[in-house]
Amino acid sequence: GAGVSQSPSNKVTEKGKDVELRCDPISGHTALYWYRQSLGQGLEFLIYFQGNSAPDKSGLPSDRFSAERTGGSVSTLTIQRTQQEDSAVYLCASSLGTSGRGPYEQYFGPGTRLTVT
């Protein structure tokens, strides 16, 4: 079946603009995760959803970052008033769940490369 998809694949935006990144998880996966990977840095956890709720938002770097998930499926990560330090690859992953018999394997999308000029 289809894997995790993300759009756009690349986004160039001017400093101060808002951007929305989209993630379509694998069908049936209840858990969805957002990560950020800056150049030369490791992956950074941002937020995860179990269904439509986000139990852990502690990874969001500032209040300019927000995410939502509707219908237990698609998620959007919104960055307001973008800054140059927001430039990174934003990765989304999904898994069957987060609780119970886990740990559940996470399947990653190809990422969105965000460049803030």
Partner 1 sequence: KNQVEQSPQSLIILEGKNCTLQCNYTVSPFSNLRWYKQDTGRGPVSLTIMTFSENTKSNGRYTATLDADTKQSSLHITASQLSDSASYICVVSLFRGSTLGRLYFGRGTQLTVWP
Residues that bind partner 1 (CB under 8 A): 4, 31, 33, 35, 41-45, 48, 50, 55-56, 58-59, 91, 93, 98-100, 102-103, 105-111
SS3 109: coil
Looking at the DSSP bridge assignments, the partners of residue 69 are 75
Closest by CA to 90, choosing from 2, 7, 1, is 7
DSSP letter, residue 71: T
- Structure tokens given for 14: 């001017």
Question: Residue 6 Cβ, how far from partner 1 at the closest point, in Å?
Answer: 9
Min CB(30)–partner 1 separation in Å: 11
For residue 82, the minimal CB distance to partner 1 (Å) is 22
**CA-derived radius of gyration, the chain:** 14
Nearer to partner 1, 16 or 45 (CB): 45
